[in-house]
Amino acid sequence: MTTTPAIDLMGTLRSGNSTSPRLTWYGPDAERVELSGRVLDNWVAKTSNLLQDELDAEPGMRLRLALPAHWKAIVWALASWQLGLETVLDGGPADFLATDDPSGATGEDAAVIAVALPALAMRWPGELPAGCLDYAAEVRSHGDVFMAHTDPDPEGCAVRTSEGRTVPHRELLTGFAVPHEEGARVHVPADRGLESALSSALGAWQRDGSVVLTHPGVALTDKLRADERIHGS
């Protein structure tokens, strides 16, 4: 079986200190979501299975993320990389579009997935355009373990950055991730954008660290920093 850094990373997150917090989200209206390595892997597996089994995604295809920096957006990126897809961050054309605003989708997007951002959302709040898939309503029915139908290509493109730079899967953790200290609990402000959140999270996880991601409306107070034991940036 061919492996990639993203696949190896998911294996580490679900097996090494798997009950420790790996991704904590502070959202609007006092929303707080904490995902351990095992729970994060579970969400990523379900999302990968949705892409593979329901949308026929396979290595080399492109997924555009039209999402803010949010824990669900990070799940989508990890699922994309686990499958061997190219994650598109520059707004370019793609085979799949994951968005929190499906009304803005165009005919260039072959498959549109509406992602409701509230943690407790069980379905999209309101009517969806015809043919649009409701992530919240569909994802929970998919398996907790992901088995790829086709091996990813380590030389294939993993991410197209907002500036159009491409990074292959084999270099995702060396050419895209931002380095952090070993075991750092890193604060990532969402107002820096999804690309910054993804690169920072990957850099923390590859050094056995974790991430606290905060919505633009959430202030990083001394209390929050102390409560979350943030000691990296």
- 17-26, 108-117, 221-230: segment of lowest average pLDDT: 108-117
The model's pTM: 0.96
pLDDT, residue 50, reads 98
Task: Identify which has the larger pLDDT, 117 or 131.
Answer: 117
pLDDT, residue 108, reads 63
Please check the confidence at residue 110 and state whether its pLDDT lies above 90.
no
Asked if 116 and 128 touch (Cβ cutoff 8 Å), the reply is no
- 13-17, 24-28, 63-67: segment of lowest average pLDDT: 13-17
Instruction: Grade residue 15 by pLDDT with cuts at 50, 70 and 90.
Output: confident
pLDDT, residue 162, reads 96
Report the pLDDT averaged over residues 24-42: 96
- Helix (H, G, I), strand (E, B), or coil: what is residue 201? helix
Residue 125 domain-assigned?
yes
Query: What is the domain-level CATH number for residue 220?
Result: 3.40.50.12780
Residue 233 domain-assigned?
no
Please check the confidence at residue 217 and state whether its pLDDT lies above 80.
yes
Residue 78 domain-assigned?
yes
Instruction: Grade residue 233 by pLDDT with cuts at 50, 70 and 90.
Output: low
Residue 112 domain-assigned?
yes
Please check the confidence at residue 160 and state whether its pLDDT lies above 60.
yes
Give CA–CA dist 56/142, Å, rounded.
Answer: 14
Please check the confidence at residue 206 and state whether its pLDDT lies above 90.
yes
pLDDT, residue 12, reads 93
Residue 135 domain-assigned?
yes
Average pLDDT, the chain: 94
The domain containing residue 109 runs over which residues?
A: 5-228
Q: Return the percentage of the chain with pLDDT > 70, whole number.
A: 97
- Helix (H, G, I), strand (E, B), or coil: what is residue 113? strand
Q: Which two tokens stand for residue 103?
A: 């009304």
- Helix (H, G, I), strand (E, B), or coil: what is residue 100? coil
Residue 222 domain-assigned?
yes
Domain count, the chain: 1
Closest CA to 91 of 61, 66, 57, 72: 66
Q: Return the percentage of the chain with pLDDT > 90, whole number.
A: 89
Q: What angle do CA 60, 196, 85 make, to 5 degrees?
A: 10
Give CA–CA dist 22/73, Å, rounded.
Answer: 15
Give CA–CA dist 152/83, Å, rounded.
Answer: 6
CA distances from 184 to 20, 34, 64, 181 (A): 13, 16, 29, 6
Give CA–CA dist 134/116, Å, rounded.
Answer: 8
Residue 216 domain-assigned?
yes
pLDDT, residue 16, reads 77
**Residue found by looking up tokens 């079986």 in the block:** 1
Please check the confidence at residue 92 and state whether its pLDDT lies above 70.
yes
pLDDT, residue 18, reads 84
pLDDT, residue 107, reads 65
Residue 71 domain-assigned?
yes
